[in-house]
Amino acid sequence: MFAAAQLGALAACIVLFVPMGMAGWHLSRNKMLFFSGALFITLAVGVHIAPYFPAASQFLISTLTPSFSSSPPFRPSSCLSSMHDVSFLPADAPSSFDWLPIRSRSGDCGFQKLSRSDAGELLNGSWILVAGDSQARLFVLSLLRLLLDRSAMEAVEGDLFRRHSDYQIMISEHGVKLDFVWSPFESNITSVLQKLRGGPRLPEVLVAGSGLWHMLHVNNASDYGENMASVRRSAASMVSPFSSELAMQPPHMFWLGLPTLLNSMLNTEEKKEKMSKTVWDAYEQEVDGSGVLRPSGGSFVLLDIGSLSRSCGLQCTTDGMHYEGVVYEAALQVMLNALLIESQQQI
């Protein structure tokens, strides 16, 4: 009986460890995917071999049982709600930002600005897809400025800002593939998500955002809300069980919120009429009501450009709509810290 149990344990180890070891070798090229996969593999192995080792069973049960006396995890998920609490300096002409002192209910958040090497390590081997309007393009600019040196930036910036066009680049130093898909309307973003669902691979990081074009050219908050609900449904189809059936990790998804609009600085009368504070508030309510964001059961973590641009103020914009790079740099660092929190990593 004991020999049979040993034989069974040996067979289980072979069946589990060999394919998982091979998968781990491939996953190790992508740090975010590796940590997610490692967590899954650890739990799977523990569940399968625990019956053969009573002491291990007790340890597994005690580990999975909540304990109020245990030390808090590194940067707990409750920190996500505080990531946009930043100040821009100097006040008269902001060129940098820093987080306000924050402690979550379960531990020290300890947000940090990731350097080029840190970001390259975190994103190594990743495919990053950004879909949206001019706000999304400015976000891509901040990402490229972080990952590339100045000489490389001079070579790519002109291509990135070709009017109403897509853009793609492979950053070989970090093994990062970056795609920007011009998607000014929510229906464009829905199409991007649907194409991804039918493709051979999903991006590791997906950033999307729109609303300004709809506000100007359609100017109907209810219609915007319906389109956002369509985005929510398409995004939901990219998470399990669909992705697990194809052995693909669902992407980390982020939504670029609408910027604060300074009506008096908008450069046309049409914009001043159609993009008022009242209309902006109505569009924000539709985003909240659409269920696209995490707090309401959606797939996207909010990158709150509205809050960040409002904190930066009128010194940070010349047209009341598009802001200085420091605002999008802050949004980028918020995203990178969110990735660290979700994967429970330290840099």
CA distance 347 to 340: 8
Average pLDDT value for the chain: 83
Name the nearest CA neighbour of 324 among 315, 332, 334, 333: 315
The pLDDT tens digits along the chain (347 residues) read 445 445 555 555 554 555 555 555 455 556 565 555 555 455 455 544 544 444 444 443 344 333 333 333 345 667 888 999 999 999 999 999 999 986 555 567 889 999 999 999 999 999 999 999 999 999 999 999 999 999 999 889 989 999 899 999 999 999 999 999 999 999 999 999 999 988 899 999 999 999 999 999 999 999 999 999 999 999 999 875 544 455 578 999 999 999 999 999 999 999 999 999 999 999 999 999 999 999 999 999 999 999 999 999 999 999 999 999 999 999 999 999 999 998 877 76
Tell me the per-residue pLDDT of 23-38, one tens digit each, with 9 for 90 and over: 554 555 565 655 555 5
| 3 state DSSP class of 122 | helix
Beta strand segments in 225-326, E: 252-256, 300-303
Cα 283–chain centre separation: 22
Looking at CATH, the fold of the domain delimited by 101-343 is given as Rossmann fold (3.40.50)
As a residue count, the chain comes to 347
**Antiparallel, parallel or unpaired: β 127-132 and 176-182:** parallel
CA distance 264 to 145: 31
Q: Is 92 exposed, middle or buried (0-12, 13-18, 19+ CB in 10 A)?
A: exposed
Question: Is the Cβ–Cβ distance between 231 and 290 less than 8 Å?
Answer: yes
At CA 121, angle to CA 207 and CA 239, rounded to 5? 35
CA distance 204 to 189: 17
Which residue type occupies 44?
Answer: A
Domain map (residue ranges) of the chain: 1-62, 101-343
CA distance 189 to 98: 31
| 3 state DSSP class of 305 | helix
* For the chain, counts of helices (H) and of strands (E): 14, 10
CB neighbourhood size of 4 (10 A): 8
Tell me the per-residue pLDDT of 130-154, one tens digit each, with 9 for 90 and over: 999 999 999 999 999 999 999 999 8
Helix (H) / strand (E) element for 3: namely helix 2-27
CA distance 328 to 317: 12
CA distances from 9 to 45, 46, 136 (A): 11, 12, 52
228: which 2 tokens? 């956002």
CB neighbourhood size of 116 (10 A): 14
pTM attached to this predicted model: 0.79
Cis bond upstream, residue 200 (ω within 30): no
